[in-house]
A and B are shown apart, each in its own frame.
Chain A
Amino acid sequence: MSKLPMLCAVAAVVIGALGPWMMAGEPKRTDATLVAWLACGALVAVFAGFLAGRRDETSGSTWPGLAGVLLAGGCLATLGMAVGAERQNYWDAWHFASILWAGAGSAAVGLVAVWTSRSKTNAAAFALPFAALLMGAYLLLWSWMTFAFVQDIEGAIVRWTYLITHG
């Protein structure tokens, strides 16, 4: 069994976790760029691990796949924390967009990785639905940013929940 996929996975998780960890504290003004680059760097590590794992007969790309799933979740958390802390008053659009793309890319790579490894390890089979869920979440987020009708649906739900709690 090659150690390279696992090393890449560990690297991806460690690098990817730095972003949410920084966001959980009091973000400094320079953090936006760093957080964005960390997410992209972790995506590269996931992708490299996936490529390396394709030749692994034993576990395939299981570990990079799991790292991809974790990274995708971490990017979503980072975005959530950024909006929650009103970082839009400091961040540029590319900070948000690059984290979102890094997360979506991680979810996609993770999905493919665990799909191709699902018959080799229990972990891959276990992670597959999570990867699909995250992929779906990113698709939803992307469609909200892209299509007005999705925003209309979101607005309708917000109004509906307001109306069922206010007379």
Chain B
Amino acid sequence: MSVPPRKNGLLSAFVVLAVLLGGVWMWIGTPLSASTARGVIPGLEDEPFYPPADPMADGILGAAREGLLHRVAQLRAKDLGAAAVADVAAEPSQSDAPVPAAAVPPLAPVLTRWPQLAEIATGDLWVLSLYLPTPVEEARGPHVVELTTADLDAAVAGLLDELPASAKRAALLEEGRWKVDRVLPGRRPLPPNGGYKGVAVDAGIDGIELVHPDRGAPYRYLPSWSAESPVKRRRIVSAARKSARAHGWSKDQANLATTQAFRTRAYVEALGGGAPARPSQRGNVPGPESTVEVVRNSIAIAADYLARETDSTGRFTYRYEAHKDTNGPSYNMLRHAGTAYSMFQTYRLTGDEEVFAAASRAMTYFRARMMEDKGLPGVWFILDPGGKRKRAKLGGAGLGLLAFVEMEKARPGSSDYEAMFGLARHIERSQLPHGEFESFWNWDGKERTDRKSTFYPGEAILGLVRLHQLTGQARWLDVAERGADYLVNERFKALGLRVYVPPDAWLLQALEELDRERPAKHRQRYAFSVSNSIARHKLMDPETAPPDLLGGDVGGLQSLPLAANSGSYGEALTAGARLEKRVRPGETTHQGYAATNLTMQFRNQFTEANDWFLPNPARAHGGFRFRPNDHEIGNDVVQHNISGLVGMLQLMDPDAPNIGLIVGPDERSAALVAAMEALP
């Protein structure tokens, strides 16, 4: 018997509905189902993100600092005493030399110094941690003690006594930093391994408590630990089990233990050490206010970082893994050029000669790796290391050009004009008749590639716009304008559809500065579309975003926002903001994007405020990390952040150097003028 068409239609309608729901589920179902494994610990519904000030935390950290300094003094006195005894042994004639006192006066009773500590054992559990800045892993810590009595001095002394020998050095201990966690009441049972991809656990916020009947006390993996070193979200629970095993738990005990999440209120010492305690969350402290001084300082210390990480040949540290104090592998000449560019930008702001010298070395390094086109003398390009058979990337020419131009702007007469104009001519000849650029130049006769880069053309166009600012030659601006119009009008646009607006950060900067010379509504509109495209996938609402992620861009279930993108997109958003300020007076949408993004940048720069857990804070100082829980510092990440900050500063500070400075005819160096006249 055949089924009537009407019933058949109903059946398929149900099937379609199922397909539709399946489609929606594929998009948002995974996060929705994963989110059901999450939840708030009962009683902590109104817990603020950053803990409130707490006199007990002040007392603990103040007393702990005093205890640490006391131990340092004892070690120094002991060392001094031993040295004096040795001197006496070596030269008996000096037997009347004073021998330093071996004993340092004892501390006053802790409750007379910090009376609030009398209550320490009556409320929530407090856990004190000591971090030592050393690459020796066993000495680094964190070294932990649970505070169960009011005698904090005894607890601190006990912790220090238990340190490995490699940690018992006065100079190292003196640099140690304390953190204290107040373990809040309430627990949340966790699904196995933290649920689907570990989503039931928030890195850096949730601690993991392991409970096993054979162990008297639970093992607590403190919340900040999964932020202080990169731990994948789905592995946080297993990291807690591993940590328990390292603290005496058997494998079976760790694996069979029930797991539950707990939270703490965490505090770190004041900047000079001790009290008052500073609130922290997810291994970080609240970011600074966005003031001109803070932006200027941020730029300066970031450039200092880059200068320190430039070797004598001009090569940068490509990746510094700050949580391990080791360097990562690989290298990239595009990022090399971009980094030097940002250092020259900084020099224009600060006049720091060390930064200029390091950036100049970097450009010498770059110049030595450039190649001249054998068939077209005077046209130069750059290849990546080991790239003798690779095609020449347009972005290398664009960023190299940017750097050489910025060098000349920073110090007229200092740049390499053959290289500068050679790169510009390479970009010029890479342009096809309809305005598109070839992103990968076939320099050695290989077959032409259809591969195209989203970002290289924008880098090249910005380089040409900047070269025009330096030389006033319309030739470069013409190429830039044709290229920009292709990207705005034709790229990803066909048959009546705008298929895609990419987050093309370099192009947005180029459009803003091109618009100063040759304003055009269609390019302005596109620039704002790019800015919106970037902001759409960022957490821009302070009402809904966790305070430490505000301004960050959204990622997958496993990822905290990429702080690296806050740098690269920061450059773009500030360009959008500058364009808005100029062409849409009274509107503040894009300026708001840039200002919010800025906060994410600050929070992810290593300073004295947030480097307590690093093995070598002095080296990381000023660097920008990849993510709030990934402390690798890339030279390109620092570059993007510096350039974004420089762009932001122009919005905030009328005295800041103009990011798109136009060099007048009288300001050009004689050497530059001669090179311009010699151009074919």
Contact = CB atoms under 8 A, between A and B. Distances in A.
Bound together: yes
Interface of A: 29, 32, 88-90, 92-94, 96-98, 100-101, 118-122, 124-130, 132-133, 142, 145-146, 148, 151-152, 154-155, 157-159, 161-167
B498 A126 contact: no
A93 B16 CA distance: 31
Interface in B496-538: 496-500, 529, 532-533, 536-537
B12 A129 contact: yes
B21 to A, nearest CB: 11
**How extensive is the interface on chain B, given as a class?**
35 or more
Given A93-B491, A119-B5, A167 B13 contact: no
Nearest to A119: B5
A41 to B, nearest CB: 16
B31 A164 contact: yes
Given A122-B2, A122-B8, A142-B497, A165 B557 contact: yes
A32 B557 CA distance: 32
B544 A163 contact: yes
A130 B599 CA distance: 48
A98 B537 contact: no
Given A118-B9, A126-B8, A126-B9, A94 B16 contact: no
Nearest to A155: B536
Contacts of B496: 97
A146 B554 CA distance: 23
Given A148-B529, A158-B554, A162-B554, A126 B12 contact: yes
14 contacts: A90-B451, A97-B497, A97-B499, A98-B495, A121-B5, A128-B12, A130-B15, A151-B532, A159-B544, A162-B555, A163-B544, A164-B32, A164-B35, A167-B38
B20 A163 contact: no
A161 B495 contact: no
Contact of B494 (A92, A120, A154): A92
Contacts of B96: none
B459 to A, nearest CB: 16
Nearest to A32: B450
A121 B537 CA distance: 47
Contact of A125 (B6, B206, B560): B6
A166 B549 contact: yes
Contacts of B454: 88-89
Interface string B197-208: 001001001100
Contact of A133 (B16, B28, B450, B451): B16
Interface of A (DSSP majority class): helix
Contact of A157 (B9, B19, B28, B495): B28
Given A29-B449, A97-B495, A165 B13 contact: no
B450 A29 contact: yes
B546 interface: yes
Nearest to B447: A29
Contacts of A126: 8-9, 11-12
Q: With a 10 A CB-CB cut-off, give which of A97, A98, A119, A165 has the most chain B CB atoms.
A: A165
Contacts of B491: 93
B539 A163 contact: yes
A166 B560 contact: yes
B400 to A, nearest CB: 22
A120 to B, nearest CB: 8
Given A89-B454, A162-B31, A167-B38, 4 more contacts: A93-B490, A133-B19, A151-B533, A166-B546
A90 B494 contact: no
Interface string B529-566: 10011001101000011100100001101001000000
Given A124-B5, A163-B544, A89 B492 contact: no
Contacts of B452: 89-90
Contact of B537 (A90, A92, A145, A159): A159
Interface in B159-192: none
A125 B12 contact: yes
B205 A165 contact: no
A139 B576 CA distance: 31
Contact of B5 (A101, A118, A148, A163): A118
Nearest to B500: A88
B453 interface: yes
Interface string B376-405: 000000000000000000000000000000
B629 to A, nearest CB: 12
Nearest to A94: B494
